[in-house]
A and B are shown apart, each in its own frame.
Chain A
């Protein structure tokens, strides 16, 4: 770009300039939907200590995309199939509460490596250019169409509805699986359902935002929120607020800089988590002289 947009101190006019472009409006809408979805699903993921599973599901987008390209299917079908299958494969190993077996993480690792190895096989069978790797990994909001925003909205509503439907028992099963099981809560079924919801959310969002961003928004805002409060409702709201702030700031700053959106969003997410941790530490020191 020869003449980039210039940042002025007048924030109102900056925002107005930003919103003058339809692609920025689409990007902001997509980012907001992704942020809300990731913040809610991610809150449960962090609570359940399933970041590794979440990361594994998010990279399943790779075999999904390359496999669909090889088979001549629409890319979206590949994403949903790969993420769904991986969620089932991880869920099959069972017992994903707090006290996880060492072998469970070995199973997740194996699922992840297998998925990536298959993706690499599809890629080399397809003989397509490897240049697409970067967009896949680090994707961008800035090429989102209006139709994609609508699809994203539908999937987000579905996934959030599913979370709302199983929200309370899932919370119980996540916090104390043994007691929940004794009370007759179907813990194993909830485990698999949650992984499927996570897979759905990841598959829908990673098509647009790339693998890296999904994972960042899934982990950092909820983790920061859980450092501040253990209360479910307050925590979920805080997590959503954090995610929206990170996504909007990232998009806004990326518009005025030459560096990509993904970079800014990961930096803001990291900065958020670190500052919350430092704040908590300082608070704890003041209380306990």
Chain B
């Protein structure tokens, strides 16, 4: 299987995309920002189409639009975070703009936009080229490293924003930075996993990890582990069964992990906004 270059590229990009989604996703779930992640990933699709209309590289369009939305949500979010109504409205507005771009694209008569759109929506990890895979790996590795480097302040400002700001932590800047980071991860992962399915890799492994443990370090590690394992398993499955698209296999495994984790649920999950009982006292499990 690894004799093929496209499989090696897929594994290279996939591993780091999953690593970034697993670590960033753990915070996304803890901060209850899954809907924001959802909006960012769908907007990546609009970015790709907008770039096609203007005649730019797809990747540029995706990055610009997701980053703009992330900063916009951070600005509108007020003290803590953008509420779900604002996200919903802004996001349907941008999708409406996407519809306009699609119309412009089809009237300008450039062919093949349907296939390109489907690739952006659902990803085509087996068709990544060597340089693309290496770029995805690099950016995602950097993102995961940033999450790890900012782990303690980010955790503190997530669990108790008031106390954190009293202690002098820039809570708002951290929130905005985190959204921008999610935007980068989203934009980079869109090519591999697809705008519509990326959410699964952000939500499912992290959700499973938070059902299993309240310890932050253990949770983060579990989340990353689940994400990478789903990616490896999904890629292998999809290689073995040609009818099964890679994205479907990966998301299927991740969702299965989540389902299993919620069956074996032992204790109540941590509540948002209140300090976790195990905070600072190490693992109690």
Contacts and interface: CB of A to CB of B under 8 A. Distances in A.
Interface string B190-214: 0000101111111110110011000
Most A CB within 10 A of own CB, among B35, B87, B97: B35
A284 interface: no
Contacts of A107: 207, 258, 262
Interface stretch (B111-119, B132-140, B147-155, B171-179): B111-119
A175 B35 CA distance: 21
B199 A109 contact: yes
A158 to B, nearest CB: 25
A87 interface: no
Nearest to A272: B89
Contacts, number: 185
A130 B114 contact: yes
Contacts of A112: 38, 199-200
Nearest to B255: A114
Given A102-B269, A223-B85, A262 B99 contact: yes
A235 to B, nearest CB: 14
B92 interface: yes
Interface string A112-138: 111011101100110001110110011
A105 interface: yes
Interface residues of A, number: 54
B85 to A, nearest CB: 5
B45 to A, nearest CB: 9
Contacts of B102: 134, 138
Interface of A: 46, 49-52, 54-55, 59, 93, 99-103, 105-110, 112-114, 116-118, 120-121, 124-125, 129-131, 133-134, 137-138, 212, 215-216, 219-220, 223, 258-260, 262-263, 265-267, 269-270, 273
The 5 closest A-B pairs by CB, nearest first: A113-B200, A266-B96, A106-B207, A109-B203, A270-B93
11 contacts: A55-B35, A59-B196, A103-B29, A106-B207, A109-B204, A120-B122, A133-B118, A138-B102, A216-B92, A262-B96, A273-B89
Interface of B: 29-32, 34-35, 37-38, 83-85, 87-90, 92-93, 95-97, 99-100, 102-103, 107, 114-115, 117-118, 121-122, 194, 196-204, 206-207, 210-211, 243-245, 247-248, 251-252, 254-255, 258, 262, 269-272
